[in-house]
Amino acid sequence: MIGALKFGPQALVEEAMRFNQHLAAGLSTLREVDDVDFGCTPKEEVYREDKLVLYRFKGDQPPTAKVPILIVYALVNRPYMVDLQEDRSLVRNLLARGEDVYLIDWGYPDRSDRWLTLDDYINGYIDRCVQAVADRHGLDAINLLGICQGGAFSVCYSALHPEKVRNLITMVTPVDFHTPDNMLGHWARGMDVDLFVDAVGNVPADLMNFCYLMLKPYRLNFQKYVGLVDILDDKAELENFLRMEKWIFDSPDLAGEAYRQFIKDFYQGNKLINGGLEIGGRAVDPINITMPVLNIFAEQDHLVPPDASRPLGGIVGTEDYSELAFRGGHIGIYVSGRAQREVPQAIHDWLAARGG
């Protein structure tokens, strides 16, 4: 008998049998799963300060690009998402095209970092990393690739230090924090961040992760684990799943003062759009961004909706502004098969057209 749900008792029995078969196969597969690691590309440490480490990645061939790229990742997750595994690596694919890639690893802030401000991160750490890379290559300016919150930092840095940035690339970067489809923005706007930071000091990573998971509670807390059963008999897919889970829950705490300022000035004040943003007592005016800009956003991004990224083109001073809309989500833009084919090549081609 087939009812309104379009399945009958026989189909239910067959589905239950398949479910049990996957579970039984999983008992065998789980015994074979190796430790899931990340960061497939060799790299060397070239600069260290406090908990920050600046790395330079090593490709199979020497880089051919004239100007290196410095990746500035967000504070809220670990940066190895850009080099997750051999077949899912933005870094590896950029190196394969001749780019010279550096990355800032922010480390894990502890209570001693409670009072770090956005000035410390942007005019301090980022500026010294930019200078370290520029000095190694004898350059006055390098290419900056900012990701998510790191993209917002890179926009601020480029506005404050335009003479040190040759080309600016932003990926899934929020600029307008008050778009109607930005759920995270709606939540943050109603937050008493002074009370919160005064109470907790540094912001616990587990609390931040819980907020992100609740943006899509059914999909991220239930559906994906039900779907896990379907891959229990596939060792490679299971290791991919576990590697991603490790990244999601390997988040650092956030320095309290920097978090306070970011919530107030960006999420609540929306000052990149409305004006009035100051970092370290200096006005941040995006009109000072006169270098070429490539803005890459994901069309199905639930954390940074496209409408939150697109306004960058309307506030920068450059006449050389380009956009790349990627068909995927906030994470898919790094790890999907399409991302491996399209994003690194687009970045390389865009940079090559501007002399590296």
Catalytic residues: 148
Nearest CA to 317 out of 350, 283, 292 is that of 292
The two beta strands, 142-147 and 101-105, are unpaired
CA dist 335 and 331 (Å) reads: 7
Chain position carrying tokens 């320095």: 255
Residues 6+ apart with CB under 8 A from 258: 75, 116, 117, 118, 120, 121
CA dist 18 and 12 (Å) reads: 10
CA dist 75 and 260 (Å) reads: 13
CA torsion sign for 218, 224, 225, 226 is positive
**313 class by beta-carbon count within 10 Å (0-12 exposed, 13-18 middle, 19+ buried):** middle
Which letter does DSSP use for residue 81 in this model? G
